[in-house]
Chains A and B, each alone.
Chain A
Amino acid sequence: MKRLINQRPGTLGKCILGILPFVLIGMVYFYFSSERLAINPNDKLMPSMQSFIDAVSYLAFEPNKRTGDYVLWADTAASLQRLGLGVGISALTGLIIGILVGIIPLVRAGIAPVITIISLVPPLAILPILFIIFGLGELSKVMLIVLGITPFLIRDVQLRVMALPHEIIIKAQTLGANSWQLILRVVLPQVLPKLIDAVRLSLGSAWLFLIAAEAISATEGLGYRIFLVRRYMSMDIILPYVVWITLLAFLMDYLLRRLSKGVFPWHSAEQGESK
């Protein structure tokens, strides 16, 4: 018998072990749900599978009587648009400023202290300021995401740029590159896959800021819906929404990972070599 630390699961074993916790969580939930419903059929805290299916099909497949929208899809579209805009703007800003701060010492001396300080401001604390400046519309929600994750992205890109082997920066100079060419042909392509990694890490925070902003001021959106139906203790809506958000977050992470692999094959090869 091998030592425990040397025993590895096969493909099938890995699958089973991976799914097992989900099955267990589900079983525990529905066991207690049915126990509670047996005592009180009107219990709202732990709805049955049937209530979930009813709620979801009502929100997803029947148009809302007042607005004519399919609520789940309208919420999803609104939230994803805010998230996409926020993360996109942040990634672009983080990339540009991060590279400049990382590679140009004069810029670093001027900007790095400000960024460090800004990154320490809790974004939610200035949410009221955003509402005052940008109004209660889309802009303030997008801005919250941007303010929340851009400092992290800038600092991450900066560190990645500074961690590039010194040799390749010198080599590029001996090939006649000026500063602009060096950024464009060496630093930018070297850092792009690392930016994708950083964006993946920041997605969790981005969702947090999005839902916080939607909870406070919105007329549609996934976070808005959850906080709206909370008043009626509608766990049959809240829980599917949470699962849906989780699924969306997982999909985004997966797609970004695939994008990185597809567009920068050399990067994953390099990673595989060094690890």
Chain B
Amino acid sequence: MNDIKIKNLWKEYGDNIVLENINLDVKAGEFVTLVGASGCGKTTFLKMLLGTEQPTRGELLLNGKPIANEPGADRGIVFQKYSVFSHLNVVENVMLGEELKKSRLLGRCFGKKRQAIRERAVALLEKVGLGHALTKYPSELSGGMQQRLAIAQALIKQPQILLLDEPFGALDPGIRTDMHELILDIWRETHITIFMITHDLSEGFSLGTQLLVFDKQRHDPDQPNRYGASITYDIPVGRSKKQANNDFQDTLMTQQAIHND
């Protein structure tokens, strides 16, 4: 299965230690949420899964093999912004992934092949609620619709892992709730492994099955970069364990409040 295993992972930029001694097991099909203060290495961690950053030391294994050191089709991504191609309309954005696979030379399909891909893309778009906007360009879509498009675009490749970098951070609260529903539906249906960074602690609790809290365990006031962050909590969460979660969430929030003071 597509399990992820991380052993003694360190990430340093010269003297600046970002992440230290990360150990983690994630089973296939988990919905992992990543929370923590800004600048504590969540994004760096996600980038290593994505392949745009490499660990300094330690192992990052997917299915027992080191994860590829560049982005690839097995790991989909949705960023907070700029996730879709502004020069393609909605349906073309989703078709692109398949067209690239079917036509290595031109990256563009014609005739029956194209029709088949288009049908798949339209089906996906209807699932994410964009069936009515097939020929619109991204600049004509609202922020929430652009993120829906970005998700559909990533899903057509059927990746093993879906990485979400604060995907709903820029959206209005009401739209955000709709997006939560959508991403949960997709997750239940596809059994895909999801890693999602969020600033919103309650989002982390309510969506995920496994919550990772990133924080620095040691502080050196004279050299703030001397110690990196690690995963201070790795807890199973989810709807079934609601009460326990609420208690823990309160504890965390109090801790963070103390932190920020």
Q: What is A's interface to B at a CB cutoff of 8 Å?
A: 165-168, 170-178, 181, 184-186, 189-190, 264-267, 269-270, 273
Contacts and interface: CB of A to CB of B under 8 A. Distances in A.
Interface in B76-134: 76-77, 79, 81-89, 96-97, 99-101, 104, 106-108
A178 B97 CA distance: 11
Given A170-B52, A184-B107, A269 B71 contact: no
A173 B139 CA distance: 22
Interface in B125-184: 137-140, 150, 153-154, 157, 159
Contacts of B52: 170
A267 B138 CA distance: 11
Given A172-B96, A266-B87, A266-B139, 4 more contacts: A178-B104, A185-B96, A185-B108, A267-B86
Interface residues of B, number: 37
Contacts of A267: 86-87
B109 to A, nearest CB: 11
Contact of A177 (B83, B107, B138): B107
A189 B107 CA distance: 13
B42 interface: no
A168 to B, nearest CB: 6
Contact of A174 (B88, B137, B159): B159
B86 A185 contact: no
A168 B84 CA distance: 7
Nearest to B77: A174
Contact of A173 (B72, B84, B87, B138): B72
18 contacts: A165-B82, A167-B79, A167-B82, A170-B77, A171-B79, A171-B84, A175-B73, A175-B96, A176-B73, A176-B97, A177-B100, A178-B104, A181-B107, A190-B85, A190-B86, A266-B89, A269-B137, A269-B140
Contacts of A181: 100, 104, 107
Nearest to B163: A174
A189 to B, nearest CB: 4
Interface of B is mostly: loop
A27 B83 CA distance: 57
B50 interface: yes
A174 B85 CA distance: 13
Contacts of B11: none
B77 A176 contact: no
Contacts of B89: 266
B82 A168 contact: yes
Nearest to A265: B137
Given A176-B73, A190-B86, A170 B97 contact: no
Interface of A is mostly: helix
B70 interface: yes
Nearest to B138: A266
Contacts of A185: 96, 99-100, 107-108
A190 B85 CA distance: 9
Nearest to A190: B87
A172 B97 CA distance: 8
A270 B146 CA distance: 14
Given A176-B73, A181-B104, A184-B107, A170 B50 contact: yes
Contacts of A174: 50, 71-73, 75-77, 154, 157, 159
B124 to A, nearest CB: 13
B163 to A, nearest CB: 8
A163 to B, nearest CB: 12
B81 A167 contact: yes
A165 B76 CA distance: 17
A189 B139 contact: no
Contacts of B153: 171, 175
Contacts of B72: 173-174, 176
A262 B153 CA distance: 27
B71 A170 contact: yes
